[in-house]
Structure 1
Amino acid sequence: MNWKKLTGPFIPEKKGDEISGKLIKVEEEVGTNLSMFYTLETEDSISGVWGSTVLDEKMKLFEVGNYVKIVFLGLKEGNRKEGYKDFEVHIGRE
């Protein structure tokens, strides 16, 4: 049997942080902020990614079963005083 470790959510801290794997679950209205939550099966674990306005818009192009790579591009200036987290999302091919 091939075991996968369940890890905490991916929380990017610096520009270039990334996670990649197979999108195995998409949940809506999760937690106190009613956010999207994406579950990825990586090479050695199962991990989640909390959605945001920017990430959710980009993830609309993906379906469960797709291979994705999410790259943190850093904080960008926006309408809000503290800015927003920007992401780049790639689709993988087998």
Structure 2
Amino acid sequence: MKHISPQELEQQLKEGRALSIIDVREYEEVAHGKIPGARHIPLGQLLERMNEFDKNEEHILVCRSGNRSGMACQLLESYGYQVVNMTGGMLEWTGEIER
């Protein structure tokens, strides 16, 4: 499984890279803020909603600490998706927040 740090992701966003970011936290967690432009799909809905994103594109998965996004990465990889886990999750995110 590929990994990216919150700092690396923030830098790529500042550089204007078009990224697919999927936040797998629950609704009440996302209500406190998410990475700007991230798509919210709770982990429990991921299997039924994975057809909403392109299998040929790389997707960065985010959660609170990096554990749930790691599980989400394993799940999506098993279906042939290209995924990257943001280590440390939103607990280590120091960049902009979208509410």
TM-score, L = length of structure 2: 0.28
Whose RCO is larger (CA < 8 A, sep 6+)? 2
Which structure has the highest strand share of the two? 1
Which structure has the highest helix share of the two? 2
Structure number with greater Rg is 1
